[in-house]
Amino acid sequence: MRKNLLLLALFLCLFFQTNAQSATSQNVLFVLDASGSMWQKLEGEFKIATAKAVMQKLVDGLPADTRAGLVVYGHNRKSDCKDIETLLPINVLDKKTFAEKLNALDPKGMTPIAKSLEHALALIEKETAPVTCILVSDGLETCEGNACEIVRKAKAKGVKITVHVIGFGLAEKDLSALECIAQAGGGQYLPANNAEELSEALEKTIEQPPVGGGCLSVKTTLEGKPMDAVVKVFKKGEAKETAFGRTYEKPETNPRVMLLPAGTYELYVEAIQLDGRPKQIFKDLAIKGKDTLFQIVDFGQGTVEVLVTRNGNLSDAVVTLYKAGTRAPVTQTRSYTQAANNPAKFKVLPGAYDVEIKTVEIAGSPVFRIENQQIGGVPLSLKHNYTSGELSVGARKGGELIDAVLMVYSKTTGKEVARGRTYTAATTNPKSFTLEPGQYRAEVAPVNPKDLAKKTFEVEVKAGEAVSKMAEW
C-alpha cells in the first residue's frame, strides 16, 4: 500500500511538471456554479452578484492575447443535472461578450460538478496547448458522477490541464471531494468566504504553474493511520502561504501532493480533530526540479490522566496543559465530580508539559501546578488532593436575621478570597464559604439596617472541619 501511494505521488508530480514545462501561453476555462444556492447571501450580498463582479474584474485585467472560455451549470432549469452550457468556447478573449454572458446569468438549478467537468474536458481535449480550468462552486455534487476520478483519468490520458477549485462560501466540514479534484488536476483548492477572498483566489489560479519546480507530498497519520489535517506551505522568509490544503483521511487526498517552485520552504501541519489542534512544523525543506520530497507527519500521541480530589472525594476543577515553561495552552478540560470525567484525560503529542489544576469549588480558585511533565510512551498518571474547610458567617440584630455583605480576607496575603451576602432568609444566613485551611479575617457590613457599624473577627479554618460565626447587634 505504501509503495502504491509513493508511486501515485510520483505520477501526480510528473503530470504537474509536464504541463508546467510545456506552457507557452495562457489558456483559461472558467466553470461557474450558477445553481440555486448562489442566491444565498454572504456579508449582505448575493453570492452570484459577488461572483459576477469579482470574475469580471479578473477577466478585465487579463492580457489581450489570453484565450478564455466559460462553462456554466444550473442557470436554465431547476432539478436538471444536464443543465450545463458552454457560454463561450475557448478562444481569444472578448471581454465585452464575456461580461454580457456573465451578467445574464440567473441561478436556478442543481450542482452537476462531475458532468460539468466532463463537458469542460471535451472542450479542453481539442486544445494543443495546456489549459487552466478554474471551477468556482458554492456547494458539493448534487448529481451523479465522480469528478475527481474524471479529472484523474484525463490527466492519465495526457490531457494538458491544471484544475483549480474555489469553494465559495462553503460551510461543509468535509470538502475532500472538491480538494480531490484540485489534487487530481495538479492545482489548488482555495476557500473564499467574501469578495476579497474570492478575488485573491481567482488571482492565484491564473498564475502560471511553476516551471522547473518539484513536488511536496505530505501524508498525515495518527499512529500510522490516515488522519485529517490542514497543510500550509510557506516559502522561507515569506508570511503568505505558497500552498494550502487539507489531507482528510481518504487516499485521494492523503498524501497531499503540491507542485512548488524550486526553493526552500516551511511546512505547517495542524491536526484539526485532536485536543488543542496540535501543530508540527518542518523547516528548511528543499524542493528541487523534477523531484518529489516525501514528508510523513505522524501525530502519535501520549496519554495523561489527572485525578482531582478534595478532602479525598472527586472534585471539580479546570485542568489545563501548557507547553513546558510557557503560558501557551495546548488543551483544557473540566474534571467535574463524576468518575466518567475524573480523572481528566488527555491525548497530546509527546513532549514536555506543565499541568495546571484550578479548582472551582474553593473560594479564590486556588491553582496547583505540576511542571515539566514528560508525556509520551508510557501513560502518565497525575493527581492532586485539595484540602478545605467550611466557614459560615451570619448577621443578626436582636435575634432577627439581617441583610449584610460579607468579605473574607486571607491573613497571610491580605487579599480578599471570598465575598457574599446574607440576606434575611435562613437558607442564606448564615452564608457558607469553602476555604483552604488557614487564618482569615471576616468583615460583616450591614445593608439593612444600614446605620449599624461593621463588625470584624478573625477565624482559623481547618481541613475537613466547619466553623461558624454570627455577628450580633
Which distant-in-sequence residues (6+ apart) come within 8 Å of 433 by Cβ?
A: 363, 390, 391, 392, 393, 408, 418, 420
For residue 171, the model assigns a pLDDT of 77
Residue 133 C-beta-side C-alpha neighbours within 13 Å: 33
For residue 2, the model assigns a pLDDT of 45
Name which of 333, 330, 317 is nearest 276 in CA terms.
Answer: 330
For residue 16, the model assigns a pLDDT of 52
What average pLDDT does the segment 21-29 reach? 68
For residue 274, the model assigns a pLDDT of 82
Specify which of 124-128, 169-173, 240-244, 401-405 reaches the highest per-range mean pLDDT.
401-405
What average pLDDT does the segment 422-427 reach? 96
For residue 300, the model assigns a pLDDT of 86
What average pLDDT does the segment 166-182 reach? 90
CATH topology of domain 302-386: Immunoglobulin-like (2.60.40)
Name which of 424, 425, 306 is nearest 357 in CA terms.
Answer: 306
What average pLDDT does the segment 297-315 reach? 95
Where does the pLDDT of residue 324 fall: very low under 50, low under 70, confident under 90, or very high at 90 and above? very high
Angle subtended by helix axes 147-156 and 113-124, to nearest 10? 20
For residue 472, the model assigns a pLDDT of 95
Residue 344 scores a pLDDT above 60: yes
Parallel, antiparallel or unpaired: strands 131-137 and 313-314? unpaired
Give the CATH H-level superfamily of domain 211-299: Immunoglobulins (2.60.40.10)
The one-character DSSP state at 18 is H
What average pLDDT does the segment 161-176 reach? 89
For residue 209, the model assigns a pLDDT of 67
For residue 5, the model assigns a pLDDT of 44
pLDDT: is 356 or 328 the higher one?
356
Residue 181 scores a pLDDT above 70: yes
For residue 18, the model assigns a pLDDT of 52
Fold equal for 24-208 and 211-299: no
Instruction: With residue 293 as reference, give the H or E element that holds it.
Output: strand 292-298
Q: Please, are residues 416 and 427 in contact by the beta-carbon 8 Å criterion? A: no
State the cell numbers at 430: 448564615
Q: Please, are residues 200 and 206 in contact by the beta-carbon 8 Å criterion? A: no
Longest dimension (CA), the chain: 103
What average pLDDT does the segment 250-279 reach? 90
For residue 277, the model assigns a pLDDT of 84
The one-character DSSP state at 460 is E
Q: Give the lowest-confidence range in 15-24, 149-158, 406-415, 442-451.
A: 15-24
Q: Which CATH architecture has domain 24-208?
A: 3-Layer(aba) Sandwich (3.40)
What average pLDDT does the segment 215-229 reach? 92
Angle subtended by helix axes 2-22 and 147-156, to nearest 10? 70
Q: Which amino acid is at 165?
A: V
The one-character DSSP state at 273 is T
Which distant-in-sequence residues (6+ apart) come within 8 Å of 62 by Cβ?
A: 26, 28, 68, 93, 95, 206
| CB neighbour burial string for 194-203, b if at least 16 within 10 angstroms, e if fewer | ebebbbebbe
Residue 23 scores a pLDDT above 50: no
What is the DSSP annotation of 74-130? SSS-TT-TT-EEEEEEEEE--HHHHHHHHHT----B---HHHHHHHHHHHHTT-SS-
Residue 95 scores a pLDDT above 50: yes
Residue 275 scores a pLDDT above 50: yes
Q: Where are the domains of the chain?
A: 24-208, 211-299, 302-386, 389-472
Residue 19 scores a pLDDT above 90: no
pLDDT: is 278 or 473 the higher one?
473
Residue 10 scores a pLDDT above 60: no
**Residue 255, preceding peptide bond in cis (omega within 30° of 0):** yes
Residue/partner pairs of 277-281 with CB below 8 Å, 24 or more apart = 278/330, 278/348, 278/349, 280/349
Tell me yes or no: is domain 389-472 CATH 3.30.300.100. Answer: no
For residue 20, the model assigns a pLDDT of 47
Where does the pLDDT of residue 256 fall: very low under 50, low under 70, confident under 90, or very high at 90 and above? very high
- Cell match 452550457: residue? 85
What average pLDDT does the segment 436-444 reach? 97
For residue 129, the model assigns a pLDDT of 92
For residue 55, the model assigns a pLDDT of 96
Where does the pLDDT of residue 21 fall: very low under 50, low under 70, confident under 90, or very high at 90 and above? very low
Mean pLDDT for the chain overall: 91
Q: Which amino acid is at 171?
A: A
For residue 223, the model assigns a pLDDT of 81
pLDDT: is 174 or 380 the higher one?
380
For residue 224, the model assigns a pLDDT of 85
pLDDT tens-digit series, residues 48-78:
999 999 999 999 999 989 999 999 999 999 9
Where does the pLDDT of residue 436 fall: very low under 50, low under 70, confident under 90, or very high at 90 and above? very high
Q: Give the lowest-confidence range in 21-25, 322-326, 468-472.
A: 21-25
Percent of the chain with pLDDT over 90: 81
Model pTM? 0.69
Question: From CA 247, how far away is CA 229, in angstroms rounded?
Answer: 6
pLDDT tens-digit series, residues 369-418:
999 999 987 899 999 999 999 999 999 999 999 999 999 999 999 999 99
